Amino acid sequence: MNRLLAFGLLAALAAVSVPALAQGAVHEEFRWLTFVVFGAIIALTMYVTFLAAKRVKSAADFYTAGGGVSGLQNGWAIAGDYLSAASFLGIAGLISLYGYDGFMYSVGWLVAYITVLLVIAEPCRNIGKYTLADILAYRNNPKATRIVGAISVITVSTFYLTAQMVGGGVLVKTLIGIDYEISVVVVGILMLGYVLFGGMVATTWVQIIKAILLVIASILLVMFVWTPYGFSLPAFLQAVVGDAKVQAQVAALLGDAARNMTPEQLGQRFLEPGLYFKAPIDQISLGMALVFGTAGLPHILMRFFTVPTAKEARKSVIWAMAIIGGFYVLTLFLGMGAAIDVGPAQIRAIDPGGNMAAPLLAQYVGGGADSMLGNLFLAFVAAVAFATIVAVVAGLVLAAASAMAHDLYVGVIRSGHVTAMEQVRAARIATVFVGAVAIVIGILAKGQNVAHLVALAFAVASSANFPCVLLTLYWKRCNTGGIVLGMIVGTLAAILLVLVSPNMTYPLAAKAAQEKIVATQTANLERLQGELAAAGEPAAQEKAQAAIAAAEKVKALAEARIREIGDARTSLMGLEKPLFELRNPGLVSIPLGFLAVVLGSLLYRDRRSEEMWGELYVRQNTGILAAKASAH
């Protein structure tokens, strides 16, 4: 098996060094630096996997590291599992482009852990074993709840996984110019190497290593950004307010409303709400999905089965909250620092979503695009981003594979009658299957806008998983009927509402928007032609010509887009315009999920759910037998 592992490592390294390189944020001459840093991190994680592989003997080792992870380790691993590229690069980017709103967005990601800490982590540790469905199956009909639980887990994981694979491929391409398909395959192979050989032990360590690297990188960057202002918050923010690039960005975002504002006012506006979030209800809906959805994310829940006791589970959430919260406070400086040092315009030029803000900031503080140190910093941040994707994907694949192997195969098909050997084999086969599917989906979804898939994963987790887990733990009358109905209604409500929401592409609206761009650019071109004719000096002529070329490019892009849309009139769902106005369905789908669990429970009678309530409630509160079970 170790020979196989060595082969996987070589294959991965060979794939990384394949010279299929195009353009990227890293300069050609410094690209070797990136590979050195990448290679070092891959070698370290592979070494850890090599050590872990010897310890993985049973299904418990594979799924939960035998329950032998400490609270401190698990806290770092949760942070590593949770701080995906979307939150690590995405939030810094949002802050660099939209200021205050980006920071406000980050708050929900931390507050989510209060729900996890207070009502989910310890009870789950006390009664669960490997999967989310274990909790549901405890007092309810095991087969029925395992089926709906596993389907929901696989749905959530697939959405999240697709977003990670596509985002990762794009990220690696943007940073170092490796082909998209190659990045997806490399991420897939590496992740499979970790999970297949090292199971949860290796996954945990990969997540810990990644979280530590992420925190080191962030602290270093913040030191560089903040030192010139003597570590004073007002002095630093004053520099943000007074920065011409920031002022220009606010003026561009506000449009006509910015006409009568002084530069100082424009800069100050960057620190006020409303530049990104326009619809308050939508934002509240998103907040609900974050705050309740995190507690229903299968790859996060699974982490609580790796610690031996409820007390360690509690300790791990406390550590995770300290790390995750500290990280988000640092992103305020990363984002604002990128806004003044790199500038929103340049950040947008490389990636319109702002995802490159932190990497570009690293390059800047190291000395810029032409310096060795600048590119070493960029390489380090790029490697951390890469490790992030691999670590998050590994956690997700493990969660999906455990639902397939432990819940569906062992629990439902074989009714629990399997040998220890068969369990481990089932787990590994499911892992290879999920990993292969992840790679295929990643390649097929190339070029798709997958940003809303993370939101959709949170929506399903908060509308289906969370109500079911919460009510089976705390509500005496909850039963099989409620769990089955809640899972189905919560999942379908979240997905259907997104399918008819503004997240989808509506050809008529898209066409109108592009036509508007064509119209403004046509007017713009006429004006520029006039300027060119009037321009006397060669410098002015050159400037006008450059502006004309840029405008023509924008116009051509918009026209190409219109041709692409063609005669299409309706969205995927056959709608001309959204039926449901919220981008995030949480506000409606979470109450629907709860309602379904309550109604299903009241309309159905299940003797087992009632008889087991006393046992479940005593166990989830006290942890009787929990420590004993994990000692095996």
Binding site for other proteins (CB under 8 A): 100-101, 103-104, 107-108, 110-111, 113-115, 117-119, 233-235, 237-238, 240-241, 268, 271-274, 277, 280, 283-284, 287, 291, 311, 314-315, 317-318, 321-322, 325, 328-329, 614-615, 617-619, 621-625, 627-629, 632
Q: Minimum distance between the CB of residue 118 and other proteins, rounded to whole angstroms?
A: 5
Strand ranges, E, within 114-207: none
Q: Which is nearer to other proteins, 246 or 401 (CB)?
A: 246
Q: Minimum distance between the CB of residue 214 and other proteins, rounded to whole angstroms?
A: 18
CB 500 within 8 A of CB 579: yes
User: Which residue type does 590 have?
Assistant: I
Could you count the other beta carbons within 10 Å of the beta carbon of residue 266?
Answer: 20
The residue among 425, 443, 430, 446 whose CA lies nearest residue 396 is 430
Interior angle at CA 403, CA 399 and CA 406, nearest 5: 115
Q: Minimum distance between the CB of residue 521 and other proteins, rounded to whole angstroms?
A: 33
Residue 628's region, left for phi above 0, alpha for psi from -120 to 50, else beta, is: alpha
Tokens of 450: 């997958």
Q: Which is nearer to other proteins, 563 or 632 (CB)?
A: 632
* CB half-sphere exposure, 625, CA atoms < 13 A: 10
What are the residues whose beta carbons fall under 8 Å from the beta carbon of 267, sequence distance 6 or more?
240, 241, 242, 243, 246, 247, 250
Residue 625's region, left for phi above 0, alpha for psi from -120 to 50, else beta, is: left
Q: Which is nearer to other proteins, 238 or 541 (CB)?
A: 238
Q: Which is nearer to other proteins, 39 or 326 (CB)?
A: 326
String of DSSP letters for 264-317 = HHHHHHTTSS-SS---HHHHHHHHHHHHHHGGG-HHHHGGGGGSSSHHHHHHHH
Q: Which is nearer to other proteins, 322 or 579 (CB)?
A: 322
The single residue listed with the structure tokens 């950040």 is: 347
Q: Which is nearer to other proteins, 53 or 340 (CB)?
A: 340
Taking only Cα atoms into account, the Rg of the chain, rounded to an integer number of angstroms, comes to 26
Q: Which is nearer to other proteins, 82 or 197 (CB)?
A: 82
Q: Minimum distance between the CB of residue 630 and other proteins, rounded to whole angstroms?
A: 8
The single residue listed with the structure tokens 């418990």 is: 60
Could you count the other beta carbons within 10 Å of the beta carbon of residue 440?
Answer: 13
The SS3 of residue 262 is coil
Distance of alpha carbon 224 from its chain centroid, rounded? 27
Q: Which is nearer to other proteins, 488 or 587 (CB)?
A: 587
User: Which residue type does 345 have?
Assistant: A
Q: Minimum distance between the CB of residue 611 and other proteins, rounded to whole angstroms?
A: 10
Q: Which is nearer to other proteins, 100 or 180 (CB)?
A: 100
Q: Minimum distance between the CB of residue 280 and other proteins, rounded to whole angstroms?
A: 3
Q: Minimum distance between the CB of residue 218 and other proteins, rounded to whole angstroms?
A: 15
Q: Minimum distance between the CB of residue 477 and other proteins, rounded to whole angstroms?
A: 16
Distance CA 325, CA 332 (A): 11
Q: Which is nearer to other proteins, 15 or 107 (CB)?
A: 107
The single residue listed with the structure tokens 């030029």 is: 349
Q: Which is nearer to other proteins, 51 or 244 (CB)?
A: 244
String of DSSP letters for 422-477 = HHHHHHHHHHHHHHHHHHHHHHHTTT---HHHHHHHHHHIIIIIHHHHHHHHH-TT
User: Which residue type does 481 have?
Assistant: G
Interior angle at CA 216, CA 214 and CA 222, nearest 5: 100
Q: Which is nearer to other proteins, 181 or 615 (CB)?
A: 615
Q: Minimum distance between the CB of residue 74 and other proteins, rounded to whole angstroms?
A: 14
Q: Minimum distance between the CB of residue 425 and other proteins, rounded to whole angstroms?
A: 17
Type and span of the H or E element at 82? helix 71-82
Q: Minimum distance between the CB of residue 308 and other proteins, rounded to whole angstroms?
A: 13
The single residue listed with the structure tokens 């005669």 is: 567
β-sheet bridge partners, residue 211: none
Q: Which is nearer to other proteins, 108 or 169 (CB)?
A: 108
Q: Minimum distance between the CB of residue 615 and other proteins, rounded to whole angstroms?
A: 4
Q: Which is nearer to other proteins, 318 or 350 (CB)?
A: 318
String of DSSP letters for 332-357 = HHHHHHHHHHT-HHHHHHH-TT-TTH
The SS3 of residue 21 is strand
Q: Minimum distance between the CB of residue 238 and other proteins, rounded to whole angstroms?
A: 5
Q: Minimum distance between the CB of residue 13 and other proteins, rounded to whole angstroms?
A: 40
Distance CA 553, CA 204 (A): 48
